[in-house]
Amino acid sequence: MRKSTGLELFLRGTVARGYPRIWGAHRDLSWLLFDVLIPLVNTSAFVFLYRALHAPEAYIGFVVLGGAMSTYWLNVLWMMASQLYWDKQEGFLELYTMSPVSTMAILLGMGVGGLYMSTVRAGAIAVIGTILYGVKFDASQWGFALLVFLVTMVALYGLGMTLSSVFLMWGREAWQVSEALTEPVFFLSGMNFPLSKLFLTIPGVLTIFSAIIPVSFGLDAMRQLLFPGQIQGIFDPWIELGFLAAMGVVFVTAAYLMLRRMEWLAKVEARLSLRWQ
């Protein structure tokens, strides 16, 4: 049997980890109902809150777009960052570590599979939300908006990979950290309101935290492109795209370095197979 090495092995590892996520999504569609329903219902609650406050109609669009983007953050948090914790609980992490495949390839596979699932989910929320609440997007710069989205995803999933290396060391606190990070990131990334309004409200140090969450600038740039003239962005979309690209490079590099370090530490401290602690 021919042995795979190098890039071929890396890609085969990626495909092997991505396959169950993509294929599994088609085998049992019940997840779609729940995963679309939960964010859609939450998004609807915020839509009606804006309506109760007599907000301009553009804000409804901001909330729907934010609701769609929230699915990516949830995916990164629960199915990337804390995934290695679940894999450890189920006994898969030992198998990954014993195999010749790089952990980066496993994480990339998770990311690609998760991106697919999240895109189905986000697309459904965006389409249903747009129809239900009559959101009017300006599609004149859709190509640029798509580019911003893709670069945001690279940075976001790079952040997910970095976090997963940290989560590798953790036990039950991984669950708690994921729980604790969900809503604060929704707040700091301006999922439900323009980022510029948030930056006027919170102390300066928090704006730095906000800026290093890729969804923040990604969402701000996309809102500027899809709702032109109805929102004041933090920076011009091109500048925000530059930030996002830089973040993508930094996070992916950091993930590579940290994963090696954390995997070593986890072996030294015998945490790779430690469960229920």
Q: Which stretch binds other proteins (CB under 8 A): 32-40, 114-122, 212-220, 253-261?
A: 32-40
Given a contact cutoff of 8 angstroms between Cβ atoms, the answer to whether 192 and 219 are in contact is no
What is the residue type of 98?
Answer: M
58 to 77, contacts with other proteins by CB under 8 A? 59
x-marked contacts with other proteins along 83-112 as a string, rule CB under 8 A: ------xx----------------------
Q: Is 119 in the site for other proteins (CB under 8 A)?
A: no
For residue 201, give both structure tokens: 């409200």
Q: For the CA atoms of the chain, what is the radius of gyration?
A: 19
Residue selected from 53, 98, 205, 208 as contacting other proteins according to rule CB under 8 A: 53
The single residue among 10, 18, 35, 153 that binds other proteins, judged by CB under 8 A, is 35
Q: Which of 2, 3, 26, 54 binds other proteins (CB under 8 A)?
A: 54
49 binds other proteins (CB under 8 A): yes
Residue range at the interface with other proteins (CB under 8 A); choices 145-153, 192-200, 225-233, 256-264: 192-200
Per CB under 8 A, does 44 bind other proteins?
yes
Which residue among 6, 7, 26, 30 contacts other proteins (CB under 8 A)?
Answer: 30
Choose the stretch contacting other proteins; rule: CB under 8 A; options: 114-122, 138-146, 178-186, 231-239: 178-186
Whichever of 190 and 248 has its CB closer to other proteins, that residue is 190
55 binds other proteins (CB under 8 A): yes
Instruction: Tell me the DSSP string of 74-118.
Output: HHHIIIIITHHHHHHHHTHHHHHHHSSS-HHHHHHHHHHHHHHHH
76 near 184, Cβ under 8 Å?
A: no
Q: How far is the CB of 255 from other proteins (least distance, A)?
A: 24
Q: Is 276 in the site for other proteins (CB under 8 A)?
A: yes
CB of 198 to other proteins, least distance (A): 6
Specify the stretch interacting with other proteins by CB under 8 A; choose among 160-168, 195-203, 214-222, 265-273.
Answer: 195-203
Let me know: does 244 contact 152? Beta carbons within 8 Å. yes
First to last CA, the chain: 41
Q: Tell me, by CB under 8 A, how many residues bind other proteins.
A: 45
Q: Mind spelling out the 3-state secondary structure of 11-52?
A: HHHHHHHHHHHHHHHHHCCHHHHHHHHHHHHHHHHHHHHHHH
Under a CB-based contact definition with an 8 Å cutoff, are residues 50 and 63 in contact?
A: yes
What is 213-272 written as a DSSP string? SHHHHHHHHHHHHHSTTS---SS-HHHHHHHHHHHHHHHHHHHHHHHHHHHHHHHHTT-T
Separation between Cα atoms, residue 252 and residue 275, nearest integer Å = 28
* Binding positions for other proteins, rule: CB under 8 A: 28, 30-31, 33-35, 37-38, 41-42, 44-46, 48-55, 59, 89-90, 171-173, 176-177, 179-184, 186-187, 191-194, 197-198, 201, 276
